[in-house]
Amino acid sequence: MTTVSVVIPVKNGERYLAELLAALAREGVNEILVIDSGSSDGSVEIVRAAGVELIEIPADAFGHGRTRNLGAEHTTGELICFLTQDATPVDGWLAAYREAFSLAPRVGAAYGPHLPRPQTSPMIARELGEFFATFAPDGRPTVQTAGDPPFLSNVNACYARACWEELRFRDVAYAEDQAFGADLLAAGWSKVYHPQAAVLHAHDYGLVEFMRRYFDEYRGLREAVGHVEPFGLGATLRHVHRSVAADRKWMRQHGAGVLERARWTTRSAAHHGGRRVFSALGSRADRLPASVQRALSLERRDGAPRMPAEPASPAARRPGGPPLATGARIPRMRERDDYEVAAEVWRHGPAPLLDPVAGMADRERLRIAMVIPPFSRGSGGHNTLFQIFSRLERRGHVCSVWVHDYFRELRDVWPGVVRRNINEFFAPIKGAVYKGFDAWHGADLVVATGWQTVHPALRLDRCYARAYLVNDHEPEFYAASTEQVLAADTYRHGLHCIAATPWLRDLLIERYGATADAFQLGVDHETYRPRPVERRRDTIVYYARYETPRRAVPIGLMALAELHRRRPDVRIVLFGGGHPIHTAFPYEHMGVLSREQLSWLYSEATVGLCLSLTNFSLMPKEMLACGLPCVELAGVSAESTFGEQPPLELATLDPTNIADRLERLLDDRDLWERRSREGLASVETHTWDHATDQVEAALRHALRLRELPVVSR
Amino acid sequence: MSTHVGDEQAEIDRLRARVAALEAELIEVQAWANEVVGQAQERTYWLDRWHVDLNELMRHRSADRLRAAARAVRSVIRLFRRLKRRFVP
């Protein structure tokens, strides 16, 4: 005969515990284990008196899932029954469970009805009867498989050990049984509802406690299986009306007198109405402040997810035995791993490209799909992309935008809003914007635009070629890390690179063996031009964006501290950072400025300071376009943009040298005039139209690289 | 032999022209579809902004009732207008 163990988690359960243990002894189970989590009543004594095995755990170690897993681990029966401390099996309970597991192959679990106790309220008694009747309309056991409701209740349930070992209970705050039910069906097991495997069980809460318990239950259901209870005022009123009528009818059928029926009617209305409200609130608890959640919860829990690091089965003690140590079982917490798409590329390689067609590079109109990472207002990289993309679209190319939102940063932003934001933040586009690739329908060219977008772009099929618009050498943004490795990996997959400076192009070719073209970042000359404002002779403006490490802000600040020491009268203005930073000199904090404001600032200032440890950025060009001489770092990338005689003052990566260059421009009026003039002249041709010409030529180059040699005639 | 080669070349040229025509057609269709989707996204901006899925909303039972009520009101208004046209000069 199949051996059966029973596990009963207990806390202050003395009211029904003796009755329950006696019923189990009567039924003849093979093993009983009680896990007490800090009872302060007589529960432990009752258990000991009954000669039942006991494990005591600290109250804060209790978890509905983890404690039951602990119980299953410490029992040996082929079937493991779980009962709550207030559920008393009725006669025939054990036989019914044994029968349940013989009704079908691969029965993973079975459960039975909860019968009302004599003192149970009519609302609960009626609902229990009606609820469990739905599982067995003809009163016979039913086998449930995939597609059936996942309902399981650990108030009274029994599990095949093999099934529990395969799935185990999730360490969730609530509804671990429902989660197990869903997991079980999904894993191909079946479950059985057996009407004779019944227990006497009903909660005797007051009205408020009931409501708070519903809040907890539905919050747990949401956490475990994602259930959201619908709510509507009309529907609630109709539900209350129907339920009260049903309760009254039930009371009549069970012999309740007029007075008793009247007494329960008000309570019934409050119960059913309150339940609808509290279950809807519980389903949506994540939208409530923690303090409100705690107030509404019977468990006083604020709903914060339990941290995986919390030990699932902390040291439990058998009386007189050593502490039991078991590892934490962490449930699945996310849909997929962070860089799964990169692993897919490594495993399966890029999706195959379409066979090239002769002459495709020279077609007047190209279908261009640009894959972009999420963005926010003011993103310089995205501004570059859309300045060019918008112009490509105006030239007749069919341009679509695909947002790869891997970390769900834009999860609450729908595509129409993403599209409008692009239009408002950067440049006007007419084409469609897609989130994700469900609607992918192919293109002539797929253009990746940042290291995070390359691997998904490589998995897109139905395209002739892939290109990679490279704004910066992104591996340098990271210390030794997965991100650094992945960013470097993106240059090695054969995408034709279109680099934002010749320096970057050469780096990609030499270091990674990529094919690459270069383009020059354009300047919006309508905005960035000398404004009609008197030029000051004492003002240094510094792009001190501390949040961006490649801007070498600590070195810039040391240079300005040195300059201030030499020339305390110089006005120093810092901009680009959200918050004022602490410095060794006084300054004016401008924060993040609009493009219009920047152009006025550049038109008024004496010298600009903008450092980049990687690729040459747009900002010095915009300063020059406003007639503002600028100091940048030598030997990185500025020379590749302007040649051997750049219109900038280039300094070594040394605060004193930077301070020298700034001071020279402040003091030497001729030098200042020359730099200002040269700067204006040098960026005159750096327009977005020119940048678009270069990018368009590079896109055609990417297609040409794939073209078959034309068959000789 | 040379006639055979000439035929083959002509066939290649014909197929190339056909591919080019089909590609041009595809571009026209995709350009149109791309712009139409873009325009639709522009029109639904506020729905997207407020996370309103009208199809989902109208599937709800209350929406049926609302539409039935609107139909009833409309029919009364129409009746009133008809009567007005008939009896009021």
Q: Is A535 exposed, middle or buried, given 0-12, 13-18 or 19+ CB atoms closer than 10 A?
A: middle
The Cα A464–Cα A318 span in angstroms is 68
Is B53 in CB contact (< 8 Å) with chain A? no
Pairwise CB contact (< 8 Å): A365 & B27: yes
Residue A521's pLDDT band, with cuts at 50, 70 and 90, is very high
Percent of chain A with pLDDT over 90: 58
Question: What's the pLDDT at A325?
Answer: 58
Pairwise CB contact (< 8 Å): A431 & B35: yes
Give A36's strand partners. Answer: A10, A56
Question: What's the pLDDT at A421?
Answer: 95
Residue A136's pLDDT band, with cuts at 50, 70 and 90, is confident
Q: Out of A82-91, A256-265, A550-559, A695-704, which region has the weakest mean confidence (pLDDT)?
A: A256-265
C-alpha triplet A98, A102, A105: angle, nearest 5°:
140
> Which residue of B34, B42, B51 is in closest CB contact with A398?
B34
List chain B residues with CB under 8 Å of A400. Answer: 34
The Cα A261–Cα A239 span in angstroms is 19
Q: Is the pTM here over 0.90, yes or no?
A: no
Residue A691, amino acid: A
A93-A98-A100-A104 Cα dihedral, nearest 10 degrees: 180
Residue A100's pLDDT band, with cuts at 50, 70 and 90, is very high
Q: Using alpha carbons only, how large is chain A's radius of gyration in Å? A: 36
The 3-class SS string of A340-394 reads HHHHHHHHHCCCCCCCCCCCHHHCCCCEEEEEECCCCCCCHHHHHHHHHHHHHHH
User: In the predicted model, what is the mean pLDDT of residues A560-581?
Assistant: 92
Question: What's the pLDDT at A303?
Answer: 64
The Cα A516–Cα A645 span in angstroms is 25
Pairwise CB contact (< 8 Å): B38 & A432: yes
What kind and span of H or E run contains B64? helix B61-87
CB atoms within 10 A of CB B50: 9
Checking ipTM against 0.85, whether it exceeds it is no
Residue A304's pLDDT band, with cuts at 50, 70 and 90, is low
Could you report the per-residue pLDDT of A146-181, keeping only the tens digit for each?
888 888 999 999 999 999 988 899 877 667 898 899
User: In the predicted model, what is the mean pLDDT of residues A325-353?
Assistant: 77
Question: What's the pLDDT at A292?
Answer: 84
B34-B38-B41-B45 Cα dihedral, nearest 10 degrees: 170
Pairwise CB contact (< 8 Å): A433 & B45: no
User: In the predicted model, what is the mean pLDDT of residues A506-512?
Assistant: 95
Is B21 in CB contact (< 8 Å) with chain A? no
Name which of B7, B8, B23 to mutate to probe chain A: the one with the most chain A Cβ atoms within 10 A of its Cβ: B23
List chain B residues with CB under 8 Å of A711. Answer: 12
Is B22 in CB contact (< 8 Å) with chain A? no
User: In the predicted model, what is the mean pLDDT of residues A316-321?
Assistant: 51
Q: Which of A599, A601, A600 is nearest to A589 (CA)?
A: A601
Question: What's the pLDDT at A307?
Answer: 42
The Cα A559–Cα A707 span in angstroms is 52
Would the pLDDT of A315 be above 70? no
Q: How far is CA A474 from CA A12, A469, A533, A550, A610, in A?
A: 59, 12, 38, 10, 19
The Cα A100–Cα A114 span in angstroms is 17
Percent of chain A with pLDDT over 70: 93
The Cα A402–Cα A64 span in angstroms is 43
Mean residue pLDDT across chain A: 88
Question: What's the pLDDT at A463?
Answer: 95
Tokens 């619908």, located at residue: A230
Name which of A231, A239, A414, A445 to mutate to probe chain B: the one with the most chain B Cβ atoms within 10 A of its Cβ: A414
Question: What's the pLDDT at A321?
Answer: 58
Greater confidence (A606 vs A263) lies with: A606
Q: Is A488 exposed, middle or buried, given 0-12, 13-18 or 19+ CB atoms closer than 10 A?
A: middle
Do A237 and A277 contact (CB within 8 A), yes or no? Answer: no
Question: What's the pLDDT at A335?
Answer: 64
Greater confidence (A61 vs B35) lies with: B35
User: In the predicted model, what is the mean pLDDT of residues A408-418?
Assistant: 87
Residue A203's pLDDT band, with cuts at 50, 70 and 90, is low
Pairwise CB contact (< 8 Å): B23 & A398: no
List chain B residues with CB under 8 Å of A367. Answer: 26-27, 30
Residue A313's pLDDT band, with cuts at 50, 70 and 90, is very low
Would the pLDDT of A511 be above 80? yes
Q: How far is CA A69 from CA A7, A35, A44, A166, A190, in A?
A: 10, 11, 21, 12, 20
Q: Which of A174, A193, A22 is nearest to A113 (CA)?
A: A193
Is A414 in CB contact (< 8 Å) with chain B? yes
Is B38 in CB contact (< 8 Å) with chain A? yes
Question: What's the pLDDT at B57?
Answer: 86
Would the pLDDT of A314 be above 50? no
Q: Out of A299-303, A514-518, A608-612, which region has the weakest mean confidence (pLDDT)?
A: A299-303
Residue A187's pLDDT band, with cuts at 50, 70 and 90, is confident
Name which of A365, A445, A713 to mutate to probe chain B: the one with the most chain B Cβ atoms within 10 A of its Cβ: A365
User: In the predicted model, what is the mean pLDDT of residues A246-269?
Assistant: 87
Could you report the per-residue pLDDT of A109-126, keeping only the tens digit for each?
999 999 988 888 888 888
DSSP state string for A17-55: HHHHHHHHHHHT-SEEEEEES---SSHHHHHHHTT-EEE
Greater confidence (A312 vs A511) lies with: A511
Question: Left, alpha or beta for A679 (phi > 0: left; psi -120 to 50: alpha)?
Answer: alpha
Do A661 and A533 contact (CB within 8 A), yes or no? Answer: no
C-alpha triplet A405, A406, A408: angle, nearest 5°:
65
pLDDT of chain B, 89 residues: tens digit per residue: 556 778 889 998 899 889 889 988 999 999 999 999 999 999 999 999 988 888 888 888 888 899 999 999 999 999 999 999 988 87
CA A41 to chain centre: 44
Question: What's the pLDDT at A61?
Answer: 80
Residue A428's pLDDT band, with cuts at 50, 70 and 90, is very high
Question: What's the pLDDT at B59?
Answer: 86
Would the pLDDT of A323 be above 70? no
Q: Which of A372, A357, A341 is nearest to A465 (CA)?
A: A357
Reading the block at residue A647, the tokens are 């219109």
Q: How far is CA A674 from CA A238, A622, A680, A681, B5, in A?
A: 83, 17, 10, 11, 68
User: In the predicted model, what is the mean pLDDT of residues A628-635?
Assistant: 92
Reading the block at residue A660, the tokens are 């020298």
Do A559 and A528 contact (CB within 8 A), yes or no? Answer: no
Among A165-179, A371-385, A495-509, B11-25, name the most confident range.
Answer: A495-509
List chain A residues with CB under 8 Å of B47. Answer: 416
Question: What's the pLDDT at A655?
Answer: 96
